[in-house]
Structure formats: structure tokens, C-alpha cells
């Protein structure tokens, strides 16, 4: 079936379009809506957004490839971003990422075999004062230890 926004998301798009002087301004919010619905931005979605906003497909593709928050391939049900920038690294962020890799049996950028979790490394997520930290879906988890990470990852698999 060809891609289309759900009725509810289509209404959200109509509201988004009123906030910008040109349709181009709605490109990022619309891509977020599409990703919320489908989980990732496929070539079909790029073309659909391009048509909907009267933009060249290359423009939309450029936005998708520039921002790491847009998934360019299918991802797991949950996404875990482990910060690896200096303040987190100084407080064990690198070891934390390695711990997650070992625990999940995947490298950063990969999805667990059961499709539950995609593990990612991230640059500073602006929570340096509570390092080491990770973002799980839309929530921050801070001052992490192996024990708290164990609990978080186990909860994601339930
Ligand atoms: S360095 Fe990790 S949140 Fe800023």
C-alpha cells in the first residue's frame, strides 16, 4: 500500500503548515510525523514528502541524511542512544556503550535480533551534568550505572 499519513497526522500537518510562510519550513516537522508513523524514512516517504511540500526529492533526502534523528532504515521497537561525548566519556560513557553492546549482543548502529532495541552512540545530548547518560526513545536516563542500565534494558524487552 502506498504511503499516506493517517487522518489524525494529516490534521496535524494541516496545522503545521499554518505556522510557516512557505511549505519548505514544514519539511522537518512532516518528516517527524512520517517517522512517528512508519518508524523510518524510506525512499517512498521521501518522494511522498517531496510531492506534498512541492520540494525536489534531493532537498528532502538531504534533510533526512543530515539529521541523525531520522532513521534511514528500519529500526527496533525502542531506540537507545548512549552519549559518547567528552563529559560523558570522562564519567564512563564509552564503557557504558561497550557494556550495552555486550549486554545486547549488537554493535552501535545495529538492532537486536528480536527487533526490540536499536543501539546507537550519540554526540552530546545536553545533559552533561548528569553524565553518563543515555536517551531511551524520548526519555533521558542519567547518572547511569551498570545496574540501572540492566534494569532499563530488561524493561524494554518486556
Ligand atoms: S556529553 Fe553527554 S550529555 Fe553532554
> Residues of the chain with pLDDT > 90: what percent?
97
Ligand 1 center–CA 88 separation, angstroms:
5
**Separation CA 68–CA 136 (nearest Å):** 15
Q: Is the pLDDT of residue 1 over 80?
A: no
Angle at 29 (CA atoms; ends 125, 119), nearest 5 degrees: 40
Q: Are 84 and 121 in contact (CB under 8 A)?
A: yes
Q: What share of the chain is helix, strand, coil (3-state, %, to 5)?
A: 50, 10, 40
| pTM score, whole prediction | 0.84
Which of 82, 88, 122, 140 has the most ligand 1 atoms within 8 A of CB, as the residue to mutate? 88
Ligand 1 center–CA 39 separation, angstroms:
25
**Separation CA 83–CA 60 (nearest Å):** 27
Per-domain boundaries in the chain: 7-66, 78-156
DSSP helix/strand/coil, 82: strand
**CB of 24 shorter than 6 A to ligand 1:** no
**CB of 124 shorter than 6 A to ligand 1:** yes
- Please give the C-alpha separations between residue 77 and each of 40, 71, 118, 128, in angstroms, as whole numbers: 11, 12, 8, 26
pLDDT confidence of residue 157:
87
Q: Which CATH number fits domain 78-156: 3.30.450.30, 3.90.76.10, 3.40.30.10, 3.60.15.10?
A: 3.40.30.10
Segment 29-56 shows an average pLDDT of 97
**CB of 75 shorter than 6 A to ligand 1:** no
Looking at CATH, the fold of the domain delimited by 7-66 is given as: Arc Repressor Mutant, subunit A (1.10.10)
Query: Each residue of 102-140: pLDDT tens digit?
Result: 999 999 999 999 999 999 999 999 999 999 999 999 999
CA 86 to ligand 1: nearest atom: 1
Q: Are 81 and 134 in contact (CB under 8 A)?
A: yes
In this prediction, residue 158 has a pLDDT band, given cuts at 50, 70 and 90, of confident
Amino acid at each position: 500500500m502506498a504511503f499516506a499519513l493517517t487522518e489524525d497526522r494529516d490534521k496535524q500537518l494541516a496545522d503545521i503548515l499554518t505556522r510557516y510562510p512557505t511549505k519548505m519550513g514544514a519539511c522537518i516537522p512532516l518528516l517527524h510525523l512520517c517517522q512517528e508513523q512508519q518508524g523510518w524514512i524510506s525512499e517512498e516517504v521521501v518522494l511522498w514528502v517531496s510531492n506534498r511540500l512541492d520540494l525536489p526529492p534531493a532537498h528532502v533526502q538531504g534533510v533526512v541524511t543530515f539529521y541523525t534523528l531520522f532513521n534511514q532504515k528500519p529500526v527496533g521497537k525502542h531506540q537507545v542512544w548512549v552519549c559518547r561525548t567528552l563529559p560523558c566519556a570522562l564519567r564512563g560513557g564509552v564503557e557504558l556503550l561497550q557494556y550495552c553492546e555486550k549486554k545486547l549482543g549488537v554493535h552501535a548502529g545495529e538492532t537486536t535480533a528480536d527487533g526490540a532495541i536499536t543501539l546507537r552512540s550519540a554526540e552530546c545530548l545536553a545533559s552533561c551534568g548528569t553524565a553518563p547518560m543515555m536517551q531511551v526513545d524520548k526519555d533521558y536516563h542519567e547518572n547511569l550505572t551498570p545496574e540501572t542500565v540492566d534494569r532499563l534494558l530488561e524493561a524494554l524487552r518486556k
